[in-house]
Structure 1
Amino acid sequence: MTKIKLALCQMNVIDNKEENIKTASLMIDKSVSKNADFIVLPEMFNCPYSNDKFIEYGEEEKDSYTLNKISLLAKKNNVYILAGSIPEKDNGKLYNTSYLFDKAGNIIAKHRKMHLFDIDVKGEITFKESDVLTAGDSFTIAETDFGKIGIGICYDIRFPELARVMVENGALILFYPGAFNMTTGPAHWELLFRSRALDNQVFCVGVAPALNKDASYHSFGHSIIASPWGEIIAEASEKENLILCEIDLDEIKKVREELPLLKNKREDLYEVIKK
Protein backbone atom coordinates (compact mmCIF):
# COMPACT_ATOMS: atom_id res chain seq x y z
CA MET A 1 0.00 0.00 0.00
CA THR A 2 1.79 3.11 -1.20
CA LYS A 3 -1.10 5.52 -1.74
CA ILE A 4 -2.78 6.84 1.39
CA LYS A 5 -5.62 9.29 1.71
CA LEU A 6 -5.02 11.53 4.71
CA ALA A 7 -7.74 13.52 6.45
CA LEU A 8 -6.66 16.56 8.48
CA CYS A 9 -9.42 17.68 10.84
CA GLN A 10 -8.83 21.36 11.60
CA MET A 11 -11.65 21.72 14.09
CA ASN A 12 -12.81 24.68 16.14
CA VAL A 13 -12.09 23.82 19.78
CA ILE A 14 -14.28 25.41 22.45
CA ASP A 15 -14.60 25.25 26.24
CA ASN A 16 -16.88 22.20 26.19
CA LYS A 17 -15.47 18.67 26.03
CA GLU A 18 -18.64 16.99 24.80
CA GLU A 19 -19.10 19.51 22.00
CA ASN A 20 -15.47 19.18 20.97
CA ILE A 21 -15.77 15.41 20.73
CA LYS A 22 -19.02 15.81 18.80
CA THR A 23 -17.22 18.07 16.31
CA ALA A 24 -14.35 15.60 16.03
CA SER A 25 -16.82 12.75 15.47
CA LEU A 26 -18.60 14.61 12.69
CA MET A 27 -15.31 15.39 10.96
CA ILE A 28 -14.22 11.77 11.30
CA ASP A 29 -17.53 10.58 9.81
CA LYS A 30 -17.12 12.99 6.90
CA SER A 31 -13.54 11.81 6.38
CA VAL A 32 -14.72 8.20 6.26
CA SER A 33 -17.40 9.09 3.72
CA LYS A 34 -14.58 10.47 1.53
CA ASN A 35 -12.63 7.19 1.88
CA ALA A 36 -9.88 8.46 4.15
CA ASP A 37 -7.33 5.88 5.29
CA PHE A 38 -5.73 7.86 8.10
CA ILE A 39 -7.47 10.62 10.07
CA VAL A 40 -5.65 13.17 12.22
CA LEU A 41 -7.05 15.45 14.94
CA PRO A 42 -5.35 18.57 16.37
CA GLU A 43 -3.26 19.08 19.48
CA MET A 44 -5.52 19.38 22.55
CA PHE A 45 -8.60 18.73 20.45
CA ASN A 46 -10.87 18.12 23.45
CA CYS A 47 -10.02 21.24 25.44
CA PRO A 48 -8.92 24.87 25.11
CA TYR A 49 -5.17 25.43 24.90
CA SER A 50 -4.62 26.84 28.37
CA ASN A 51 -2.79 25.55 31.43
CA ASP A 52 -5.83 25.82 33.67
CA LYS A 53 -7.94 23.92 31.13
CA PHE A 54 -5.31 21.18 30.82
CA ILE A 55 -5.82 20.54 34.52
CA GLU A 56 -9.62 20.75 34.30
CA TYR A 57 -9.93 18.51 31.24
CA GLY A 58 -7.25 15.96 32.18
CA GLU A 59 -8.18 12.28 31.81
CA GLU A 60 -6.58 8.99 32.77
CA GLU A 61 -5.99 6.64 29.86
CA LYS A 62 -7.71 3.65 31.47
CA ASP A 63 -11.11 5.35 31.75
CA SER A 64 -10.83 8.27 29.33
CA TYR A 65 -14.13 9.49 27.96
CA THR A 66 -12.35 11.06 25.00
CA LEU A 67 -10.23 8.04 24.08
CA ASN A 68 -13.14 5.64 24.39
CA LYS A 69 -15.11 7.70 21.89
CA ILE A 70 -12.24 7.81 19.39
CA SER A 71 -11.57 4.09 19.81
CA LEU A 72 -15.18 3.27 18.93
CA LEU A 73 -15.03 5.50 15.85
CA ALA A 74 -11.81 3.86 14.62
CA LYS A 75 -13.26 0.39 15.08
CA LYS A 76 -16.67 1.23 13.61
CA ASN A 77 -15.13 2.78 10.50
CA ASN A 78 -12.12 0.46 10.13
CA VAL A 79 -9.74 3.43 9.93
CA TYR A 80 -6.58 4.70 11.60
CA ILE A 81 -7.09 7.75 13.82
CA LEU A 82 -4.31 9.82 15.33
CA ALA A 83 -6.08 11.49 18.22
CA GLY A 84 -4.13 14.76 18.12
CA SER A 85 -3.45 15.13 21.81
CA ILE A 86 -5.28 15.37 25.11
CA PRO A 87 -4.18 16.24 28.66
CA GLU A 88 -3.34 12.83 30.12
CA LYS A 89 -3.27 12.27 33.89
CA ASP A 90 -0.95 9.59 35.22
CA ASN A 91 0.29 9.07 38.78
CA GLY A 92 -0.24 12.67 39.78
CA LYS A 93 1.40 14.06 36.66
CA LEU A 94 -0.11 15.68 33.59
CA TYR A 95 1.14 15.08 30.04
CA ASN A 96 0.31 16.40 26.59
CA THR A 97 -0.27 13.03 24.92
CA SER A 98 -1.12 11.84 21.42
CA TYR A 99 -2.73 8.43 20.83
CA LEU A 100 -2.74 6.39 17.64
CA PHE A 101 -5.65 3.97 17.13
CA ASP A 102 -5.55 1.16 14.61
CA LYS A 103 -8.49 0.00 12.49
CA ALA A 104 -9.69 -2.27 15.29
CA GLY A 105 -9.83 0.64 17.74
CA ASN A 106 -6.74 -0.42 19.68
CA ILE A 107 -4.14 2.04 20.94
CA ILE A 108 -0.96 1.05 19.09
CA ALA A 109 1.19 4.04 20.03
CA LYS A 110 1.21 7.02 22.36
CA HIS A 111 3.50 10.03 22.36
CA ARG A 112 4.01 12.35 25.28
CA LYS A 113 5.21 15.77 24.14
CA MET A 114 8.96 15.76 24.70
CA HIS A 115 9.73 19.46 24.38
CA LEU A 116 7.45 21.64 26.48
CA PHE A 117 6.34 24.99 25.08
CA ASP A 118 8.08 27.45 27.42
CA ILE A 119 8.53 30.70 25.52
CA ASP A 120 8.62 34.46 26.06
CA VAL A 121 8.48 36.51 22.87
CA LYS A 122 8.73 40.03 24.25
CA GLY A 123 5.62 42.10 23.64
CA GLU A 124 3.90 39.22 21.82
CA ILE A 125 3.29 36.01 23.77
CA THR A 126 4.41 34.23 26.92
CA PHE A 127 3.46 30.64 27.66
CA LYS A 128 4.95 28.05 30.02
CA GLU A 129 3.59 24.53 29.65
CA SER A 130 6.00 23.25 32.27
CA ASP A 131 3.98 25.05 34.93
CA VAL A 132 1.48 22.17 34.75
CA LEU A 133 2.78 19.60 32.25
CA THR A 134 5.52 16.99 32.51
CA ALA A 135 7.71 16.25 29.49
CA GLY A 136 7.73 12.85 27.84
CA ASP A 137 11.03 11.07 27.29
CA SER A 138 10.37 8.52 24.54
CA PHE A 139 10.60 8.54 20.75
CA THR A 140 7.40 7.32 19.10
CA ILE A 141 7.52 5.24 15.93
CA ALA A 142 4.48 3.13 15.04
CA GLU A 143 3.97 0.31 12.57
CA THR A 144 0.94 0.63 10.28
CA ASP A 145 -0.39 -1.17 7.20
CA PHE A 146 1.54 1.23 4.98
CA GLY A 147 4.79 1.32 6.95
CA LYS A 148 6.23 3.15 9.91
CA ILE A 149 5.22 6.63 11.02
CA GLY A 150 6.72 9.00 13.55
CA ILE A 151 4.75 11.11 16.01
CA GLY A 152 5.70 14.39 17.68
CA ILE A 153 3.59 17.19 19.10
CA CYS A 154 3.80 20.87 18.12
CA TYR A 155 6.98 22.33 19.70
CA ASP A 156 8.69 18.97 19.08
CA ILE A 157 8.98 19.91 15.39
CA ARG A 158 11.51 22.64 16.21
CA PHE A 159 14.07 19.98 17.16
CA PRO A 160 15.51 18.36 14.02
CA GLU A 161 17.28 15.66 16.02
CA LEU A 162 13.91 14.14 16.95
CA ALA A 163 12.76 14.00 13.34
CA ARG A 164 16.04 12.42 12.25
CA VAL A 165 15.85 9.73 14.93
CA MET A 166 12.34 8.80 13.80
CA VAL A 167 13.42 8.65 10.16
CA GLU A 168 16.55 6.64 11.04
CA ASN A 169 14.16 4.18 12.66
CA GLY A 170 12.15 3.85 9.45
CA ALA A 171 9.40 6.50 9.67
CA LEU A 172 8.03 7.49 6.25
CA ILE A 173 5.57 10.12 7.50
CA LEU A 174 6.10 12.48 10.42
CA PHE A 175 2.95 13.68 12.16
CA TYR A 176 2.95 16.71 14.44
CA PRO A 177 -0.45 17.69 15.82
CA GLY A 178 0.20 21.28 16.83
CA ALA A 179 -1.20 24.63 17.83
CA PHE A 180 1.17 27.39 16.80
CA ASN A 181 -0.04 30.87 17.73
CA MET A 182 -0.52 34.07 15.75
CA THR A 183 3.07 35.15 16.47
CA THR A 184 5.04 31.97 15.81
CA GLY A 185 2.65 30.58 13.18
CA PRO A 186 3.08 33.18 10.44
CA ALA A 187 6.83 33.24 11.07
CA HIS A 188 7.73 29.57 11.32
CA TRP A 189 4.88 27.05 10.73
CA GLU A 190 5.30 26.47 6.99
CA LEU A 191 9.06 26.82 7.20
CA LEU A 192 9.39 24.12 9.85
CA PHE A 193 7.16 21.59 8.10
CA ARG A 194 8.90 22.13 4.79
CA SER A 195 12.29 21.90 6.49
CA ARG A 196 11.63 18.66 8.38
CA ALA A 197 10.18 17.11 5.21
CA LEU A 198 13.11 18.29 3.09
CA ASP A 199 15.82 17.39 5.64
CA ASN A 200 14.56 13.84 5.95
CA GLN A 201 12.90 13.30 2.55
CA VAL A 202 9.61 12.19 4.07
CA PHE A 203 6.06 13.52 4.23
CA CYS A 204 5.51 15.86 7.17
CA VAL A 205 1.99 16.57 8.44
CA GLY A 206 0.71 19.16 10.89
CA VAL A 207 -2.86 19.39 12.16
CA ALA A 208 -3.95 22.38 14.23
CA PRO A 209 -7.12 23.70 15.83
CA ALA A 210 -8.89 26.43 13.88
CA LEU A 211 -8.56 30.02 15.04
CA ASN A 212 -11.07 30.72 17.81
CA LYS A 213 -10.98 34.46 18.52
CA ASP A 214 -13.06 33.96 21.67
CA ALA A 215 -10.37 31.76 23.22
CA SER A 216 -7.48 33.04 25.35
CA TYR A 217 -4.97 31.33 23.04
CA HIS A 218 -5.30 32.03 19.34
CA SER A 219 -4.29 29.08 17.14
CA PHE A 220 -2.76 29.88 13.76
CA GLY A 221 -4.54 26.95 12.09
CA HIS A 222 -3.08 26.26 8.63
CA SER A 223 -2.99 22.46 8.91
CA ILE A 224 -0.42 21.31 6.39
CA ILE A 225 1.19 18.51 4.40
CA ALA A 226 4.73 18.91 3.06
CA SER A 227 6.26 16.50 0.54
CA PRO A 228 9.70 14.81 0.53
CA TRP A 229 10.77 17.50 -1.96
CA GLY A 230 9.90 20.20 0.59
CA GLU A 231 6.80 21.41 -1.23
CA ILE A 232 3.48 22.25 0.41
CA ILE A 233 0.92 19.95 -1.18
CA ALA A 234 -2.05 20.89 1.03
CA GLU A 235 -2.74 23.66 3.51
CA ALA A 236 -5.79 25.12 5.24
CA SER A 237 -6.52 28.71 6.21
CA GLU A 238 -7.14 29.67 9.83
CA LYS A 239 -10.81 28.59 9.65
CA GLU A 240 -12.37 25.25 10.54
CA ASN A 241 -11.75 22.93 7.62
CA LEU A 242 -11.31 19.32 6.60
CA ILE A 243 -8.39 18.63 4.28
CA LEU A 244 -8.37 15.40 2.29
CA CYS A 245 -5.21 14.63 0.36
CA GLU A 246 -3.80 11.47 -1.19
CA ILE A 247 -0.06 10.95 -0.87
CA ASP A 248 2.10 8.34 -2.58
CA LEU A 249 4.93 6.88 -0.51
CA ASP A 250 6.75 5.92 -3.71
CA GLU A 251 7.65 9.61 -3.96
CA ILE A 252 10.03 9.12 -1.02
CA LYS A 253 12.07 6.51 -2.92
CA LYS A 254 12.11 8.70 -6.04
CA VAL A 255 13.35 11.80 -4.21
CA ARG A 256 15.98 9.84 -2.27
CA GLU A 257 17.34 8.39 -5.51
CA GLU A 258 17.47 11.79 -7.18
CA LEU A 259 18.99 13.60 -4.20
CA PRO A 260 20.59 10.98 -1.92
CA LEU A 261 20.95 13.06 1.23
CA LEU A 262 20.64 10.19 3.66
CA LYS A 263 23.26 8.16 1.77
CA ASN A 264 25.63 11.12 1.59
CA LYS A 265 25.71 11.80 5.33
CA ARG A 266 29.23 11.81 6.81
CA GLU A 267 28.63 9.24 9.50
CA ASP A 268 32.37 8.96 9.90
CA LEU A 269 32.19 12.48 11.34
CA TYR A 270 28.78 12.59 13.02
CA GLU A 271 25.75 10.41 13.66
CA VAL A 272 22.36 10.35 15.33
CA ILE A 273 22.47 7.76 18.06
CA LYS A 274 19.34 5.63 18.14
CA LYS A 275 18.11 4.60 21.57
Structure 2
Amino acid sequence: MRPFAIAGIQMKVSAVTPNVEMMKLKLDITMNLYPWVEMVVFSELCGYGPLTHTATHIPGDFEHQMQALAKKHNIWLLPGSIFEKHDDKIYNTATVINPDGEVVTRYRKMFPFYPYEVGVTPGSHYCVFDVPGVAKFGLSICYDMWFPETIRTLAVMGAEVILHPTMTGTIDRDIELSIVRAMAAVNQCYLFDVNGLESGGNGKSIVCGPDGRVIYQAEGNEEIFPLELNIERVRRSREYGVLRLGQPLKSFRDHIGQFNIYQPGAHLPYLNSLGPLIKPTKMEALAKLKMKENEYEPPSGPTGYKGFGEL
Protein backbone atom coordinates (compact mmCIF):
# COMPACT_ATOMS: atom_id res chain seq x y z
CA MET A 1 0.00 0.00 0.00
CA ARG A 2 1.29 3.42 -0.89
CA PRO A 3 1.82 6.24 1.65
CA PHE A 4 -0.95 8.80 2.03
CA ALA A 5 -0.49 12.53 2.71
CA ILE A 6 -2.82 14.40 5.08
CA ALA A 7 -2.64 18.06 6.08
CA GLY A 8 -4.22 19.44 9.22
CA ILE A 9 -5.13 23.13 9.31
CA GLN A 10 -5.05 24.74 12.75
CA MET A 11 -6.61 28.18 12.32
CA LYS A 12 -8.32 30.96 14.25
CA VAL A 13 -12.08 30.52 14.58
CA SER A 14 -14.45 33.41 15.23
CA ALA A 15 -17.68 33.01 17.17
CA VAL A 16 -19.03 36.28 15.75
CA THR A 17 -18.55 36.05 11.99
CA PRO A 18 -18.39 33.05 9.63
CA ASN A 19 -14.95 31.59 8.97
CA VAL A 20 -15.74 30.05 5.60
CA GLU A 21 -13.80 32.52 3.45
CA MET A 22 -10.72 32.10 5.63
CA MET A 23 -11.06 28.33 5.35
CA LYS A 24 -11.05 28.70 1.57
CA LEU A 25 -7.94 30.87 1.71
CA LYS A 26 -6.14 28.47 4.04
CA LEU A 27 -6.99 25.56 1.78
CA ASP A 28 -5.75 27.39 -1.32
CA ILE A 29 -2.50 28.23 0.49
CA THR A 30 -2.10 24.63 1.64
CA MET A 31 -2.49 23.19 -1.83
CA ASN A 32 -0.21 25.83 -3.37
CA LEU A 33 2.53 25.06 -0.85
CA TYR A 34 2.03 21.31 -0.69
CA PRO A 35 0.47 20.05 -3.96
CA TRP A 36 1.29 16.47 -2.92
CA VAL A 37 -1.28 16.54 -0.09
CA GLU A 38 -4.21 14.18 -0.71
CA MET A 39 -6.51 14.95 2.25
CA VAL A 40 -7.11 18.10 4.32
CA VAL A 41 -8.72 18.18 7.77
CA PHE A 42 -10.06 21.26 9.60
CA SER A 43 -11.07 21.56 13.26
CA GLU A 44 -14.48 21.04 14.85
CA LEU A 45 -17.06 23.81 14.23
CA CYS A 46 -14.48 25.70 12.18
CA GLY A 47 -16.93 27.05 9.60
CA TYR A 48 -19.30 29.03 11.82
CA GLY A 49 -17.94 28.78 15.34
CA PRO A 50 -19.25 27.27 18.60
CA LEU A 51 -22.71 28.87 18.96
CA THR A 52 -25.79 26.82 18.12
CA HIS A 53 -27.73 29.76 16.66
CA THR A 54 -25.59 29.27 13.53
CA ALA A 55 -27.20 25.85 12.94
CA THR A 56 -28.19 25.26 9.33
CA HIS A 57 -29.59 22.47 7.20
CA ILE A 58 -27.39 19.81 5.61
CA PRO A 59 -27.00 19.54 2.68
CA GLY A 60 -26.71 23.28 2.27
CA ASP A 61 -24.53 26.15 1.12
CA PHE A 62 -21.54 25.34 3.35
CA GLU A 63 -21.33 21.76 2.19
CA HIS A 64 -21.76 22.78 -1.46
CA GLN A 65 -18.88 25.26 -1.20
CA MET A 66 -16.65 22.61 0.37
CA GLN A 67 -17.57 20.12 -2.36
CA ALA A 68 -16.45 22.63 -5.00
CA LEU A 69 -13.12 23.12 -3.20
CA ALA A 70 -12.46 19.39 -2.91
CA LYS A 71 -13.09 18.97 -6.63
CA LYS A 72 -11.00 22.05 -7.49
CA HIS A 73 -7.97 20.70 -5.63
CA ASN A 74 -8.68 17.00 -6.31
CA ILE A 75 -8.43 16.10 -2.61
CA TRP A 76 -10.33 14.38 0.15
CA LEU A 77 -11.73 17.12 2.38
CA LEU A 78 -13.05 17.08 5.94
CA PRO A 79 -14.09 20.69 6.64
CA GLY A 80 -14.42 20.19 10.39
CA SER A 81 -18.05 20.21 11.49
CA ILE A 82 -20.99 22.59 11.72
CA PHE A 83 -24.17 22.62 13.74
CA GLU A 84 -26.86 20.89 11.70
CA LYS A 85 -30.53 21.78 12.07
CA HIS A 86 -32.74 18.75 11.49
CA ASP A 87 -36.44 18.85 12.39
CA ASP A 88 -36.50 20.25 15.94
CA LYS A 89 -33.00 19.03 16.82
CA ILE A 90 -29.44 20.32 16.46
CA TYR A 91 -26.51 17.99 15.76
CA ASN A 92 -22.76 18.57 15.55
CA THR A 93 -22.13 17.14 12.09
CA ALA A 94 -19.03 16.51 9.97
CA THR A 95 -18.95 15.77 6.25
CA VAL A 96 -16.47 13.67 4.26
CA ILE A 97 -15.98 14.78 0.63
CA ASN A 98 -14.00 12.87 -2.00
CA PRO A 99 -11.76 14.32 -4.79
CA ASP A 100 -14.70 14.33 -7.21
CA GLY A 101 -16.56 16.69 -4.89
CA GLU A 102 -19.01 14.00 -3.77
CA VAL A 103 -20.24 13.60 -0.21
CA VAL A 104 -19.11 10.13 0.82
CA THR A 105 -20.57 10.13 4.33
CA ARG A 106 -21.62 12.35 7.23
CA TYR A 107 -21.10 11.87 10.95
CA ARG A 108 -23.02 13.28 13.92
CA LYS A 109 -21.00 13.64 17.10
CA MET A 110 -22.04 10.86 19.48
CA PHE A 111 -20.94 12.51 22.73
CA PRO A 112 -21.65 16.24 22.89
CA PHE A 113 -19.68 17.90 25.69
CA TYR A 114 -22.45 17.70 28.30
CA PRO A 115 -23.30 19.53 30.41
CA TYR A 116 -21.60 22.37 28.52
CA GLU A 117 -22.46 21.73 24.86
CA VAL A 118 -26.08 22.53 25.57
CA GLY A 119 -28.90 22.12 23.09
CA VAL A 120 -27.06 19.55 20.96
CA THR A 121 -28.48 16.07 20.32
CA PRO A 122 -26.13 13.08 20.17
CA GLY A 123 -25.72 11.10 16.99
CA SER A 124 -26.20 7.34 17.07
CA HIS A 125 -24.10 5.91 14.23
CA TYR A 126 -20.37 5.25 13.89
CA CYS A 127 -18.60 6.44 10.77
CA VAL A 128 -15.99 4.63 8.67
CA PHE A 129 -15.19 5.08 4.99
CA ASP A 130 -12.73 3.75 2.44
CA VAL A 131 -10.09 5.70 0.56
CA PRO A 132 -9.67 3.26 -2.34
CA GLY A 133 -6.25 1.67 -2.54
CA VAL A 134 -5.13 3.32 0.70
CA ALA A 135 -6.98 2.43 3.91
CA LYS A 136 -10.21 2.45 5.86
CA PHE A 137 -10.69 5.69 7.81
CA GLY A 138 -12.81 6.42 10.89
CA LEU A 139 -14.29 9.73 11.99
CA SER A 140 -14.68 10.93 15.58
CA ILE A 141 -15.32 14.42 17.00
CA CYS A 142 -13.74 15.95 20.12
CA TYR A 143 -15.37 14.60 23.33
CA ASP A 144 -16.16 11.28 21.62
CA MET A 145 -12.55 10.31 22.27
CA TRP A 146 -13.01 10.45 26.05
CA PHE A 147 -15.12 7.31 25.72
CA PRO A 148 -12.70 4.53 24.69
CA GLU A 149 -15.55 2.45 23.33
CA THR A 150 -16.01 4.89 20.44
CA ILE A 151 -12.46 4.64 19.12
CA ARG A 152 -12.34 0.90 19.79
CA THR A 153 -15.54 0.42 17.78
CA LEU A 154 -14.04 2.27 14.80
CA ALA A 155 -10.94 0.06 15.04
CA VAL A 156 -13.07 -3.09 15.22
CA MET A 157 -14.88 -1.85 12.09
CA GLY A 158 -11.47 -1.79 10.39
CA ALA A 159 -10.41 1.85 10.68
CA GLU A 160 -6.64 2.22 10.32
CA VAL A 161 -6.60 6.02 10.46
CA ILE A 162 -8.97 7.94 12.75
CA LEU A 163 -9.61 11.59 11.92
CA HIS A 164 -10.52 13.67 14.95
CA PRO A 165 -11.56 17.32 14.51
CA THR A 166 -11.79 18.94 17.92
CA MET A 167 -12.55 22.30 19.53
CA THR A 168 -10.85 22.39 22.90
CA GLY A 169 -10.06 25.71 24.52
CA THR A 170 -10.25 24.47 28.10
CA ILE A 171 -7.55 23.66 30.65
CA ASP A 172 -7.88 19.91 30.02
CA ARG A 173 -6.11 20.03 26.65
CA ASP A 174 -3.01 18.37 28.06
CA ILE A 175 -5.19 15.50 29.29
CA GLU A 176 -6.57 15.14 25.77
CA LEU A 177 -3.07 14.89 24.34
CA SER A 178 -2.44 11.88 26.56
CA ILE A 179 -5.77 10.37 25.50
CA VAL A 180 -4.83 10.70 21.82
CA ARG A 181 -1.59 8.83 22.47
CA ALA A 182 -3.38 6.14 24.46
CA MET A 183 -6.17 5.66 21.91
CA ALA A 184 -3.65 5.38 19.06
CA ALA A 185 -1.63 2.77 20.96
CA VAL A 186 -4.40 0.56 22.34
CA ASN A 187 -6.22 0.56 18.98
CA GLN A 188 -3.00 0.32 16.94
CA CYS A 189 -3.95 3.07 14.50
CA TYR A 190 -3.02 6.55 13.36
CA LEU A 191 -4.97 9.26 15.16
CA PHE A 192 -5.04 12.66 13.45
CA ASP A 193 -6.36 15.28 15.90
CA VAL A 194 -6.93 18.86 14.65
CA ASN A 195 -7.82 21.64 17.11
CA GLY A 196 -8.68 25.28 16.39
CA LEU A 197 -7.63 28.60 17.93
CA GLU A 198 -9.32 31.50 19.76
CA SER A 199 -13.06 30.67 19.83
CA GLY A 200 -12.16 27.37 18.18
CA GLY A 201 -9.69 26.12 20.79
CA ASN A 202 -6.19 26.54 22.17
CA GLY A 203 -4.32 24.64 19.48
CA LYS A 204 -1.84 21.86 20.26
CA SER A 205 -3.14 19.68 17.43
CA ILE A 206 -1.47 16.29 17.54
CA VAL A 207 -0.86 13.29 15.28
CA CYS A 208 0.12 9.92 16.71
CA GLY A 209 1.15 6.64 15.13
CA PRO A 210 0.00 3.08 15.89
CA ASP A 211 2.58 2.74 18.67
CA GLY A 212 1.21 5.82 20.46
CA ARG A 213 4.27 7.91 19.72
CA VAL A 214 3.82 11.55 18.71
CA ILE A 215 4.55 12.15 15.03
CA TYR A 216 3.79 15.86 15.26
CA GLN A 217 2.38 18.30 17.79
CA ALA A 218 1.48 21.87 16.92
CA GLU A 219 1.78 24.83 19.29
CA GLY A 220 -0.66 27.65 20.01
CA ASN A 221 -0.37 29.48 16.69
CA GLU A 222 -1.86 29.07 13.23
CA GLU A 223 -0.27 26.14 11.45
CA ILE A 224 -0.57 23.94 8.41
CA PHE A 225 0.98 20.54 9.10
CA PRO A 226 1.23 18.14 6.15
CA LEU A 227 2.30 14.59 6.99
CA GLU A 228 2.78 11.46 4.94
CA LEU A 229 1.39 8.39 6.70
CA ASN A 230 2.64 4.87 6.08
CA ILE A 231 -0.46 2.72 6.53
CA GLU A 232 1.65 -0.44 6.51
CA ARG A 233 2.78 0.51 10.03
CA VAL A 234 -0.79 -0.08 11.24
CA ARG A 235 -1.00 -3.47 9.62
CA ARG A 236 2.34 -4.60 11.00
CA SER A 237 1.42 -3.37 14.48
CA ARG A 238 -1.87 -5.25 14.40
CA GLU A 239 -0.18 -8.42 13.18
CA TYR A 240 2.96 -8.40 15.32
CA GLY A 241 2.05 -6.15 18.28
CA VAL A 242 2.77 -2.63 19.52
CA LEU A 243 6.55 -2.39 19.31
CA ARG A 244 6.33 -6.18 18.73
CA LEU A 245 4.98 -6.56 22.25
CA GLY A 246 1.30 -6.38 23.25
CA GLN A 247 -1.43 -7.19 20.71
CA PRO A 248 -4.43 -5.37 22.23
CA LEU A 249 -6.86 -5.76 19.31
CA LYS A 250 -6.33 -9.53 19.16
CA SER A 251 -6.61 -9.80 22.94
CA PHE A 252 -9.84 -7.76 22.88
CA ARG A 253 -11.22 -10.05 20.17
CA ASP A 254 -10.43 -13.17 22.15
CA HIS A 255 -12.06 -11.90 25.39
CA ILE A 256 -14.86 -9.75 24.02
CA GLY A 257 -17.62 -11.67 25.84
CA GLN A 258 -16.39 -10.82 29.33
CA PHE A 259 -17.56 -7.19 29.59
CA ASN A 260 -20.80 -7.65 31.51
CA ILE A 261 -21.38 -3.92 32.11
CA TYR A 262 -22.32 -3.57 28.44
CA GLN A 263 -24.98 -6.26 28.47
CA PRO A 264 -28.62 -5.15 28.04
CA GLY A 265 -30.28 -4.63 31.39
CA ALA A 266 -27.00 -4.54 33.31
CA HIS A 267 -27.43 -3.41 36.92
CA LEU A 268 -25.17 -0.38 37.50
CA PRO A 269 -25.88 0.89 41.03
CA TYR A 270 -22.62 2.80 41.42
CA LEU A 271 -23.02 4.80 38.19
CA ASN A 272 -26.63 5.57 39.10
CA SER A 273 -25.48 6.84 42.50
CA LEU A 274 -23.43 9.62 40.88
CA GLY A 275 -26.49 11.81 40.35
CA PRO A 276 -27.67 13.79 37.31
CA LEU A 277 -25.44 15.17 34.55
CA ILE A 278 -25.41 18.90 35.37
CA LYS A 279 -22.89 21.71 35.62
CA PRO A 280 -21.01 22.02 38.92
CA THR A 281 -22.49 24.70 41.13
CA LYS A 282 -21.72 26.56 44.35
CA MET A 283 -21.40 24.47 47.48
CA GLU A 284 -24.70 25.61 49.04
CA ALA A 285 -26.69 24.54 46.02
CA LEU A 286 -24.66 21.38 45.76
CA ALA A 287 -25.55 20.43 49.32
CA LYS A 288 -29.25 20.74 48.51
CA LEU A 289 -28.75 18.61 45.44
CA LYS A 290 -26.98 15.93 47.50
CA MET A 291 -30.04 15.73 49.74
CA LYS A 292 -32.04 14.64 46.71
CA GLU A 293 -29.58 12.00 45.51
CA ASN A 294 -31.72 9.14 46.69
CA GLU A 295 -34.53 10.42 44.50
CA TYR A 296 -32.39 10.41 41.36
CA GLU A 297 -33.26 8.08 38.49
CA PRO A 298 -31.27 7.91 35.24
CA PRO A 299 -32.98 9.77 32.37
CA SER A 300 -34.88 7.55 29.98
CA GLY A 301 -34.03 6.95 26.35
CA PRO A 302 -30.98 5.59 24.54
CA THR A 303 -28.76 8.57 25.34
CA GLY A 304 -30.08 9.64 28.72
CA TYR A 305 -30.21 13.25 27.49
CA LYS A 306 -33.22 15.49 28.04
CA GLY A 307 -31.80 18.77 26.80
CA PHE A 308 -30.41 21.92 28.37
CA GLY A 309 -31.59 24.67 26.01
CA GLU A 310 -29.58 26.56 23.40
CA LEU A 311 -26.53 28.76 23.60
- Which TM-score tier does this pair reach, normalised by the shorter chain? 0.7 to 0.9
Equivalent position of 1:249 in the other structure: 231
- Structure 2: runs of 5 or more not aligned: 264-311
Equivalent position of 2:121 in the other structure: 134
Residue 78 of structure 1 deviates from its aligned partner by: 0.9
> What's the TM-score, normalizing by structure 1?
0.86
The separation in 2 between residues aligned to 1:31 and 1:154, in whole angstroms, is 24
Q: Is the 8 A contact 1:45 1:84 kept in 2?
A: yes
Q: Is the 8 A contact 2:135 2:231 kept in 1?
A: no
Q: Please say if 1:60 is aligned against 2:57.
A: yes
The separation in 2 between residues aligned to 1:267 and 1:237, in whole angstroms, is 40
- Aligned mate of 1:115, from 104, 111, 116: 111
Task: Give aligned-pair identity as a percent.
Answer: 25
Secondary structure of 1:66's counterpart equals helix
Q: Is the 8 A contact 1:235 1:243 kept in 2?
A: no
Residue 261 of structure 1 deviates from its aligned partner by: 2.5
Residue 142 of structure 1 deviates from its aligned partner by: 1.0
Amino acid at match of 2:163: F
> What's the TM-score, normalizing by structure 2?
0.77
The separation in 2 between residues aligned to 1:48 and 1:40, in whole angstroms, is 16
Q: Please say if 1:32 is aligned against 2:28.
A: no
Amino acid at match of 2:58: E
- Structure 1: runs of 5 or more not aligned: 120-127
Q: 1:268 to 1:103 in 2, by over 3 A?
A: closer
Structure having the higher strand fraction is 1
Secondary structure of 1:27's counterpart equals helix
Q: How does 1:152-231 map to 2 (within 5 A)?
A: 152-186=140-174, 188-210=175-197, 212=198, 215=199, 219-231=201-213
Residue 92 of structure 1 deviates from its aligned partner by: 2.0
Amino acid at match of 2:39: F
Equivalences, count = 251
Which consecutive segments of 4 or more residues in structure 1 shift more than 4 A? none
Residue 190 of structure 1 deviates from its aligned partner by: 1.1
Q: 1:68 to 1:230 in 2, by over 3 A?
A: same
Query: Residues 56-75 of structure 1: CA distance to partner in whole angstroms, max 9, x if unpaired?
Result: x111113x221111110001
Q: Please say if 1:95 is aligned against 2:117.
A: no
Q: Once superposed, what is the RMSD of the aligned Cα atoms?
A: 1.7
Q: Is the 8 A contact 1:47 1:54 kept in 2?
A: no
Secondary structure of 2:80's counterpart equals strand
